[in-house]
């Protein structure tokens, strides 16, 4: 094993990145062949805003405006010619207002014409880029397999992500993700100790049953239908069971203590904040129990600056995340039809990171693999075990 000094781990705050290049990103991620067709999807609350790109006049659609400036215009300016691509159209579909909910089929083009995603888009493009407010990775993964296309989901893109997480060398990202995947693959279980500000320690145990770890590494080359979630850089598992307690910071800042048994969250108890938020979560868990099932355990593999968007921040080395809900796009069995209500069939990440969850610390993350026990994270820092794995040639 190499020593820590053998791995010059850069400081995320001072790390420099090359300028964002759509040509480099698409060439690296997809390695497109001559005359493959590419298009862009965005989400809008009113599809009429797509006609003549009217959404560009409204500052609330910053994500969609970045899709137009950095992807649509770049494709037509020179990227399609440089990569030998054709097409370059942009379509809008109705905003889902939930992470990874299935997409409604109607869509609109820049001329304002109503079209069908399944009839007019999916079958006619080789590469589909979805730059949206809400993640569409799960539904597009299913559609890619059905209609034989490749693509990337890039929800929540902001300027920090453009200039760091999308500007990296994805060959390097893939190599590092593979090193950490091998270091964790075959784990029987992972235990996470959370320390609250009061000093109380909550422990959650995720059962993994020796499964082969998976990676989100950004490369979607070849002809196999697939969707890359960008920025990438993650090792993940689909838990087979879970027990214990863990804290959760809700969107309004409320902090809850979640009880997990049989692989799902069964109850939330108030630590601080609004009792109404806890009551609403408990009502949802009671009404639609599938919403509490833990469908993912993930670990970041990259050194990146904080973007304040989970899509990048969950890829930061030293963080980990859980996710509830559908996991069919990860190889799990939780499909939308298992939920009582369609709107609940989401895949929601719960990120544990210093800037996101300052109310508590990840005291330690431990992996058990047969007789081998390894520390993976301590105090939001990657362990020597992971750093040694990264240092391997």
Our separate counts of H helices and E strands in the chain read 10, 20
Pairing of strands 127-130, 150-153: parallel
Encode burial over 39-64: b for 16+ CB neighbours within 10 A, e otherwise: bbbbbbeebebbeeeebeeeeebebb
Beta carbons of 325 and 389 less than 8 angstroms apart: no
Structure pTM? 0.93
Q: What are 248-290's pLDDT values in tens digits?
A: 999 999 999 999 999 999 999 999 999 999 999 999 999 999 9
Strand partners, 229: 153
Token output for 275: 């009792």
Beta carbons of 179 and 389 less than 8 angstroms apart: yes
pLDDT at 330 over 90: no
Q: How far is CA 282 from the centre of its chain?
A: 25
φ/ψ of residue 224, rounded to 5 = -70, 130
Q: What are 359-374's pLDDT values in tens digits?
A: 999 999 999 999 999 9
List the one residue out of 235, 349, 366 whose CA is nearest residue 295: 349
Token output for 271: 């630590």
Within the chain, all domains assigned CATH 3.40.50 are found at 22-162
Q: What is the mean pLDDT of residues 323-349?
A: 86
At the topology level, CATH places domain 22-162 in: Rossmann fold (3.40.50)
List the one residue out of 322, 310, 202, 181 whose CA is nearest residue 256: 202
Token output for 363: 């005291």
Helix (H) or strand (E) holding 183, with range, is helix 170-184
Rg for the chain, CA atoms, rounded: 21
Average pLDDT value over all residues in the chain: 94
pLDDT at 3 over 70: no
Cα–Cα distance, 97 to 117 (Å, whole number) = 18
Q: CA 69, 74, 76 angle in degrees (round to 5)?
A: 115
Cα–Cα distance, 384 to 11 (Å, whole number) = 17
Beta carbons of 25 and 76 less than 8 angstroms apart: no
Strand order in the sheet with 226-229: 114-116, 106-109, 86-94, 37-44, 127-130, 150-153, 226-229
What pLDDT shows up at residue 10? 56
pLDDT at 344 over 90: no
Helix (H) or strand (E) holding 312, with range, is helix 310-313
Q: What is the mean pLDDT of residues 324-335?
A: 85
What pLDDT shows up at residue 9? 54
pLDDT at 8 over 80: no
Beta carbons of 353 and 380 less than 8 angstroms apart: yes
Sequence-distant (≥ 6) Cβ neighbours of residue 30 within 8 angstroms: 127, 150, 220, 221
Residue 343 pLDDT level (bands cut at 50, 70, 90)? confident
Q: At what angle do helices 384-391 and 170-184 cross, to 10 degrees?
A: 130
Length of the chain: 393
Instruction: List C-alpha distances in Å: 348 to 8, 28, 137, 210, 236.
Output: 34, 28, 12, 24, 14
Instruction: List C-alpha distances in Å: 40 to 43, 87, 108, 252, 282.
Output: 10, 10, 12, 33, 38
Q: What are 10-61's pLDDT values in tens digits?
A: 577 678 999 999 999 999 999 999 999 999 999 999 999 999 999 999 999 9
pLDDT at 348 over 90: no
What pLDDT shows up at residue 5? 35
Cα–Cα distance, 125 to 37 (Å, whole number) = 5
Question: Which runs of E-coded beta strand occur in 197-240?
Answer: 201-207, 214-216, 226-229, 234-237
Q: What are 150-192's pLDDT values in tens digits?
A: 999 999 999 999 999 999 999 999 999 999 999 999 999 999 9
pLDDT at 7 over 60: no
């Amino acid at each position: 094993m190499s020593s820590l000094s053998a791995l010059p781990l850069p400081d995320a705050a001072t790390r420099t990145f090359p300028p964002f290049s759509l040509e480099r990103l698409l060439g690296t991620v997809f390695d497109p062949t001559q005359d493959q067709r590419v298009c862009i999807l965005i989400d809008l609350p009113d599809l009429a805003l797509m006609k003549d790109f009217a959404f560009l006049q409204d500052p609330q659609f910053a994500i969609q405006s970045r899709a137009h400036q950095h992807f649509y215009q770049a494709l037509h300016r020179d990227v399609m010619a440089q990569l030998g691509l054709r097409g370059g159209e942009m379509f809008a579909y109705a905003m889902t207002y939930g992470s990874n909910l299935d997409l409604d089929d109607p869509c609109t083009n820049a001329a304002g014409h109503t079209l069908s995603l399944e009839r007019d888009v999916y079958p006619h493009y080789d590469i589909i880029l979805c730059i949206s407010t809400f993640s569409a990775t799960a539904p597009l993964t299913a559609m890619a397999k059905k209609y034989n296309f490749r693509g990337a989901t890039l929800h929540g893109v902001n300027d920090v992500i453009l200039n760091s997480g999308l500007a990296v060398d994805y060959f390097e990202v893939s190599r590092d993700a593979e090193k950490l995947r091998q270091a964790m693959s075959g784990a029987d279980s992972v235990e996470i100790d959370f320390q609250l500000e009061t000093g109380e320690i909550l422990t959650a145990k995720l059962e993994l049953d020796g499964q082969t770890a998976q990676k989100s590494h950004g490369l979607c080359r070849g002809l196999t239908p697939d969707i890359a979630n960008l920025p990438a850089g993650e090792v993940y598992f689909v838990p087979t069971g879970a027990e214990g307690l863990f804290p959760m910071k809700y969107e309004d800042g409320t902090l809850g203590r979640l009880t997990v048994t049989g692989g799902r969250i069964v109850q939330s108890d108030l630590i601080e904040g609004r009792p109404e938020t806890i009551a609403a979560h408990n009502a949802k868990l009671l009404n639609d129990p599938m919403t509490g099932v833990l469908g993912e355990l993930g670990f970041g593999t990259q050194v990146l600056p904080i973007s304040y968007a989970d899509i990048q921040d969950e890829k930061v080395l030293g963080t980990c995340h859980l996710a509830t809900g559908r996991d069919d796009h990860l190889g799990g069995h939780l499909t939308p039809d298992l939920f009582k209500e369609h709107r609940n069939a989401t895949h929601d990440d719960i990120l544990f990171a210093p800037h996101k969850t300052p109310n508590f610390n990840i005291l330690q993350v431990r992996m058990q693999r047969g007789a081998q026990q390894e520390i993976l994270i301590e105090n939001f820092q990657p362990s020597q075990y992971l750093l040694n794995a990264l240092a391997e040639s």
